A and B are shown apart, each in its own frame.
Chain A
């Protein structure tokens, strides 16, 4: 191949663009499809800086709302980075609050404190590190592979 004729050059350009599109698509799928677990809790600050909400209905995006009482913790699984949380305290006359937030891309689990949020304390979103390594290890031991190869025909169509 001495010199690319224009046709071949055009093709290589198109291919290069397509390769870039391919990579971009992967990135977009990752960003928009990445699943996050949001642990929402309603706890008072141990130091007493803010109280827990008495009772509140919380919803994230269009997911089913959940009720929270003091000390509650529950989780929402969401897709993508940008979300909107709505906290509606059940106390009469209390202000409903709706905030948009952005989750850090690389994290699987984040902790969202509605008590902090309502009290205006920062940061109300924190990265959550699971403390249950031992527990998970025990759970997994039961599932460890004994011998994955001798099983035949156990995968139905």
Chain B
């Protein structure tokens, strides 16, 4: 955006991306995986993960940072899927039904999350994270103790032997990859899940459109300055809640898309890492805590997952131990989040100081004593 290209500024702005590129560029040949395999995997993983990552965009726009509370949406999606599987609804119908069931749950959870985050202004991210933990407890209470007890579950096949509570692993045979296969297109050696891509494309269109709405404009405004927005008559708290609600609903749909591709669901664990992977992907894609764009999502998903594909093999080739590669990619992803947060916080302070630097020195420093 700056008129002259400044390599140092570019590096500082894209440090996380550059590090990831370098590491992956090194690891891809070491892994010895074929290009075809890697590319096919990437096509699959873009379809699987991109939607979830998109759910983080709006809260960032509204200045609330990364919505780690998106796992609430993931939980809503899982509950939807449990119901859809229990009722034996097959294929895309099952996915759509799961979304319809998950929607009110996600809206409700999103509203709660928004209210909670409004009470924790300035530390939304850590609060959202803990809220995810807390709601995980509630989720367990519902799924492990209430389903089949208070909430009727018809199918004994998905309940635990004690008669209530959902099994540890839920087979999603009835909906497995139904969206991916709805319109699977073969191009050369690759199979593309076109229907999934179309859903993601639709979401992109929605986000672009949403940015141009009044609500989108209000979100941008409160994201930059809550005080000014409030005095201009924008209802800050309400807008923040709406941002979180939309994010939660999108995460709900994203989790359903994710799980239909996986084909089974670790009932009590599937959502635990959702926030982490989405956040890591977005930040690796060059987004910051205050600014994220659609390209960031795609770059991030590709880069992060490229690393996740090649790293275990690279570790095995280099150290004779695939585990090293696995630990390494986890470490790098966590570090990417930490680094992105640090760069953001550090730059925020640096900018504030630079903004005031103009006032310093006065005329005395300039030697302008009259």
A interface list, Cβ under 8 A from B: 22, 25-26, 29-30, 32-36, 77, 79, 108, 133, 136-137, 140-141, 143-145, 148-149, 151-157
| Bound-complex Cα distance A2 to B92 (A) | 45
Contacting residues of chain B (220-275) with chain A, CB-CB under 8 angstroms: 266-270, 272-273
| Bound-complex Cα distance A77 to B89 (A) | 11
Closest 6 CB pairs of A and B: A33-B93, A148-B268, A35-B90, A145-B168, A33-B89, A29-B97
Is the beta-carbon distance between B167 and A144 smaller than 8 angstroms?
yes
A35 / chain B contacts, CB cutoff of 8 Å: 88-90, 174
B161 / chain A contacts, CB cutoff of 8 Å: 137, 140-141, 144
B interface list, Cβ under 8 A from A: 45, 48-49, 87-94, 96-97, 100-101, 140, 144, 154-157, 160-161, 167-169, 174, 266-270, 272-273, 277, 304-305, 308, 330
Q: A22-B100, A33-B91 are in contact. Are A145 and B269 (CB under 8 A)?
A: no
Is the beta-carbon distance between A33 and B272 smaller than 8 angstroms?
no
**CB < 8 Å neighbour of B167 from A25, A32, A140:** A140
B88 / chain A contacts, CB cutoff of 8 Å: 34-36, 108
A22, A145, A156 pick with most chain B CB within 10 angstroms:
A145
Closest to B143 in A: A148
| Bound-complex Cα distance A36 to B308 (A) | 39
Is the beta-carbon distance between B270 and A155 smaller than 8 angstroms?
yes
Is the beta-carbon distance between B100 and A143 smaller than 8 angstroms?
no
Closest to A151 in B: B269
**CB < 8 Å neighbour of B273 from A22, A30, A144, A153:** A153
Our count of residue pairs bridging A and B at CB distance below 8 angstroms stands at 89
A144 / chain B contacts, CB cutoff of 8 Å: 160-161, 167-168
User: Can you list 14 contacts pairing A with B, beta carbon distance less than 8 Å?
Assistant: A22-B100, A25-B96, A33-B91, A33-B94, A108-B88, A108-B155, A136-B156, A140-B160, A145-B167, A149-B268, A155-B272, A157-B48, A157-B277, A157-B304
| Bound-complex Cα distance A149 to B304 (A) | 26
A155 / chain B contacts, CB cutoff of 8 Å: 266, 269-270, 272-273
| Bound-complex Cα distance A32 to B154 (A) | 19
| Bound-complex Cα distance A29 to B93 (A) | 5
Report A5 CB to chain B, min CB distance, Å.
20
B88, B96, B167, B269 pick with most chain A CB within 10 angstroms:
B88
Is the beta-carbon distance between A30 and B49 smaller than 8 angstroms?
no
Report B331 CB to chain A, min CB distance, Å.
12
Is the beta-carbon distance between A34 and B87 smaller than 8 angstroms?
yes
B101 / chain A contacts, CB cutoff of 8 Å: 26
A141 / chain B contacts, CB cutoff of 8 Å: 161
| Bound-complex Cα distance A30 to B87 (A) | 8
Is the beta-carbon distance between A34 and B168 smaller than 8 angstroms?
no
**CB < 8 Å neighbour of B45 from A36, A108, A157:** A157
Is the beta-carbon distance between B330 and A153 smaller than 8 angstroms?
yes
Q: A136-B156, A145-B167 are in contact. Are A33 and B90 (CB under 8 A)?
A: yes
| Bound-complex Cα distance A151 to B266 (A) | 10
A154 / chain B contacts, CB cutoff of 8 Å: 266, 269
A25 / chain B contacts, CB cutoff of 8 Å: 96, 100
Report B309 CB to chain A, min CB distance, Å.
10
